[in-house]
Chains A and B, each alone.
Chain A
Amino acid sequence: MMEKMLELKNITKRFPGLVANDSVSLDGVAGEVHAVVGENGAGKSTLMNIITGLYHQDEGEVWSRGEKLEFSGPRDAILKGIGMVHQHFMLVNRFTVVQNIILGYEGTKSGVIDFEQARNKVEELCRLYDFKLDLDKPVGELSVGHQQRVEILKVLYRGADILILDEPTAVLTPQEVEELFTNLEKLKTQGKLILFISHKLHEVLRISDRITVLRRGKVVGTVVAGETNKKRLAEMMVGRPVLFRLEKPECEVQEPVLEVRNVTIKTGEDRQSLNNLSLTLRRGEIYGIAGVEGNGQRELVEAVMGLTAYHEGSILIKGQETKGKCVRDVRKIGVGYIPEDRHHRAVVLPMTVWENAVLGMEGDVDYGSWWKLNIEGIKEFTKRKIAEFDIRLGTIDSAIRNLSGGNQQKVVLARELSTDPDVIIAAQPVRGLDIGAIEFVHKQLINARSNGKGVLMISADLEEVLSVSDRVGIMYNGEIVKEFVPGELEVEEIGHYMLGASQKVGEASHD
């Protein structure tokens, strides 16, 4: 009888306005990969934060190896052998790899750190698990895959037996995912328990032994991976049958509406430059940009929108050159923008819903003259959009930060589409949204494209890019290295391009 390494009994956690975890029970044994799946907002993160001691449950118990656990903080969880590898890395960019690994676990009696001893221990671990890392580099300069290794090492350095990986593959290339899975298999043979949080169902089915599905804070069920399939899991996650094919009507592609020609931007050491980048977006198509984050996607968007100046190359929107134009003038040509960073770029959190609905348009004819805001008119407009976009909220006078992510994004969409732009730049448009909102946003983008607009969509989620786009460009190191139509390339090949390999398939990736 295998003793349970981890057992959650009826865990409940409440926040103002919602029950994040509702009587959740699950267990894990040594040498197992146990996946926890659910939509955004299903309660996965909260549950993990409880297991790792960051939050405390309102009801229920956490048991491990026959012992009830009471945590007063993350330190206690670490002492009990529970280690979390966060989705958003918890690293101090200015510190070296070694400094990041020993932080909080410096192992000193006198208060003075023995860096040499620490380094040796880390080197040892790297050898044991076959991790290749430059230990003295500031972590901020490492690749995403390497940063993740640092996170895993942090946890192993503290002797963790229970590893929790939160959406580990979200930012990895297909090759890096393979490497990760190899490492996980090795950890399994060492008797570790691995909790694998993900919404990527095909990966989950590959690597896990058992899968627990959460929906709206409750456990829907725990199944054995070999005995289920993607369709069933998705249904459990959402509570209804889910379509995996997007409805995309046929659409004729017309003339170019956005042309980026040989744009090069050199910026400081920590920002990727654009490297002679060229792409063409046409009316009636969705051009998706695939690629690992940090390869210039953000810089491309900022250059197109006029947020960053460019001097080499040219960008034409509807035939007009945008060099030197400010954001306002670029938008005037006919561009809508759905920024990647919703909270800092798309909405002003403390302002009301109606104010956010016209952000940037407050001086326009319908909404005010220079000496007076037409508040009534703005509110009318907002109410219409609320109905049109089915936005759930209390009143339009409440601060937009009180709305859910999905509803906030709908306000952004409503605003950006209201000017009937010919080009729509959508950067990570469905990040952090639940399935219903995701479907809605994709539908809006497809609608726009079917009405003859051009949509440029940037996403780190390869699945999304392949299902939504008409054409895809893979971005690596500041340029488009390959363009193709979804279906033309195998996922493996795509991965190679994402890592910067040349056209030769099967070439080993850089490390």
Chain B
Amino acid sequence: MGDMAELLASALRMSMPVLITALGAIYSERSGVTNIGLEGMMLTGAFWAAYGSLHYGPMGGVFMAILMAVLMALLHGVVTITYRVDQIVSGMAINILAYGLTRFFSIELFGMATTSPHVDGLSKISIPLLKDVEWLQPLTKDISPIIIVGILLVFFTYWVLERTTFGLRLKAVGENPLAADTLGIKVLHYRYYGVLISGAFAGLAGAYLALEHTGMYVEGMTQGKGYIALAAMIFGNWNPFGALGAACLFGFAESLSLRVMQNKFIPYQFIKMLPYLLTIFVLAGVVRKAHPPASVGIPYAREEH
């Protein structure tokens, strides 16, 4: 039983970065903006979380991570929403920029391109009552607060999208922006909100990665999780609970693969490949079910009709 809980806890920990980023991606995509740059935003978040934690403590790190990632998202937004540049191109450019900027500042601020010193994570918390149940302890005792935040965000996102004015308009803007425009909804504004929120979430995910998961910043530590988050969002049908399920699947696979890494039969390089191969299989299996927002990827301009 305890092993089960341990496995679940490990899977949950592994899935957090993908989950949080995927949730953020939902806001962006449902408003009509594809954000391939989430990988770079997450990396940016990881870096600045480490820097911030070193100088201002872990909460300062989280704050800086979100701030810097939002700035990257703002750049992506300006380029794709105001200047209507192709969203994939902009996203890739953001990733390249993020890669260069983190290395650059890493050398300047940490003295090395590849890692930061060890930094403090947030103080662990325990769920009251449940923490004393022994077999649940891996899941309930001394866990990172961000894990709780992550799970809450799933419900929060559902509530926002289904029950609030903001959510209704955000979705409308991604499905039929012209219709929303004729109803007096500011299409471009809502798209900016969507992109900025996705950046904030990616920054938080990066902070989790650096502060809670690894304990420091390592060059390229996101390892493609930003893209996997997009796959999780697609697999989850642009729906927060679906994203939760998909992220857990990935987290589970990664957690499992780490355990298997030490064996003698399969070379470790193949185990490393697993998350990426899994992503491809998952996407290949999804095809007809998928209901992407009707206007995603298409820049909006009023007078062009």
Contact = CB atoms under 8 A, between A and B. Distances in A.
Asked whether A and B interact, the reply is yes
A46 to B, nearest CB: 10
A52 interface: yes
B182 A74 contact: yes
A344 to B, nearest CB: 13
A95 B165 contact: no
B184 interface: yes
Residue in B165, B185, B186, B294 whose Cβ sees the most chain A Cβ within 10 Å: B165
A23 to B, nearest CB: 21
Interface residues of B, number: 23
A112 interface: yes
B264 interface: no
Given A73-B184, A106-B165, 10 more contacts: A53-B184, A54-B181, A54-B302, A74-B183, A75-B184, A86-B182, A90-B179, A91-B179, A103-B168, A103-B179
A99 B163 contact: no
Contacts of B182: 52, 54, 74, 84, 86, 90
27 contacts: A54-B302, A55-B303, A74-B181, A74-B183, A75-B184, A78-B183, A78-B184, A90-B176, A90-B183, A91-B179, A92-B180, A93-B294, A94-B291, A95-B171, A99-B168, A103-B168, A103-B179, A103-B180, A103-B183, A104-B184, A106-B168, A108-B165, A111-B164, A112-B163, A112-B165, A113-B163, A113-B165
Given A92-B176, A93-B294, A113 B168 contact: yes
A395 B186 CA distance: 39
Contacts of B164: 111-113
B52 to A, nearest CB: 31
Interface in A101-128: 102-106, 108, 111-113
Contacts of B213: none
A40 to B, nearest CB: 15
A44 B178 CA distance: 19
Nearest to A108: B165
A89 B176 CA distance: 11
Given A54-B302, A108-B165, A113-B165, A93 B176 contact: yes
Chain A interface, DSSP helix/strand/loop, else mixed: loop
Interface in B177-226: 178-186
A112 B180 CA distance: 19
Nearest to B159: A112
Interface string B143-186: 00000000000000000000111101101100110111111111
Contacts of A154: 183
A104 B163 contact: no
A99 B182 CA distance: 15
A103 B184 CA distance: 9
Contacts of A113: 163-165, 168
Interface in A393-433: none
Contacts of B184: 53, 73-76, 78, 104
Interface string A282-319: 00000000000000000000000000000000000000
Nearest to A114: B163
A106 B172 CA distance: 13
